[in-house]
Amino acid sequence: MSFPVLRSAHLYPVKSLASRARDTVAVEPWGLDGDRRWMLVDKASRAVTQRQQPSMARISAEVLPGGGVALSAPGHPPLRVAVPEPEPGRTLTVELHRDTLEVAEAPGDAHDWLSTVLGTEVRLVHLDDPAHRRPVDPLFGRPGDVVSFADGYPLLLTATASLDALNALVAEGDRPEEGPLPMDRFRPNVVIDGTEAWAEDGWRRIAIGEVVFTVAKPCGRCVITTTDQRTAERGREPLLTLARHRRFGKQLVFGQNLIPEGTGVIRVGDPVRILDR
């Protein structure tokens, strides 16, 4: 009999750019250390993601000591961006989904570099105070629960058995895509091995290694899941199959959103304990 374990952990240093795998990572109240502390915004200071710019998938960001990022993209020279120096009263108001929050703006060369790579005007911003800037939806979180620039919750969990089951459903469809869908389409933070398919639907509290998490709600999926994370090309799956088999109310669901109940370190291979169903 197999037992659930942490198969992999992933950061997204800049929201909607490429992922970075980690064997060991600290869990903060707002998410994994270094995850989604940076974000792109447009001329109207609204968040820019792969929903609008699928080619963001081909830009990489690596976290630097001190919290800065090293940016790279095919055909462009790399760029290192330091965390903006704090300036009292000098913040930018931005919109992320239905939230409005204050952020720090990166140096101008970061805006120029990213605008050139994407072919449209964008700015890079930094969440300087994740402990206070953005609360989790109070319908699913507790007072004091916070999130970085992630869509709504500190972490996203997916399970390999559920991806296998979804790929089997895709293969049964009338227009299956070439080959199975990889897990990176779903941009998880933690991937779990050793469960039954869709077992995570019934979880309410879990522990990964030493850290306990509340399972807040299922994750409703968007067009980003149809984007090949290596080529930035879009297809029809998995949304076509999710609409047939995984529609929960108005949402097409794959994965579960997590809120940490404390801090600590998680490591690939850590056991996953189901504390409440």
Element (H, E) at 172: helix 160-172
User: For residue 36, with 0-12 CB atoms within 10 Å meaning exposed, 13-18 middle and 19 or more buried, which class applies?
Assistant: buried
Distance CA(263)–CA(7), nearest Å, equals 20
User: What local confidence, expressed as pLDDT, does residue 86 receive?
Assistant: 72
Give the model's pLDDT for residue 174.
66
99: Cβ contacts below 8 Å, ≥ 6 apart: 134
Query: How many distinct structural domains can be found in the chain?
Result: 1
> Could you tell me the residue range of the domain that residue 52 belongs to?
5-276
Rounded to an integer, what distance in angstroms lies between the CA atom of residue 106 and that of residue 38? 9
pLDDT at 85 (0 to 100): 85
Low-confidence ranges of the chain (pLDDT < 70): 1, 88-89, 174-178
Query: How many whole angstroms separate alpha carbon 67 and alpha carbon 111?
Result: 18
* Residue 167 φ/ψ, nearest 5 degrees: -65, -35
User: In the prediction, which pLDDT does 173 show?
Assistant: 79
Looking at residue 33, which CATH number applies to its domain? 2.40.33.20
- Residue 89: predicted pLDDT: 66
What does pTM read for this prediction? Answer: 0.96
pLDDT of residue 5: 98
Whether the Cβ atoms of residue 160 and residue 181 lie closer than 8 Å to each other: no
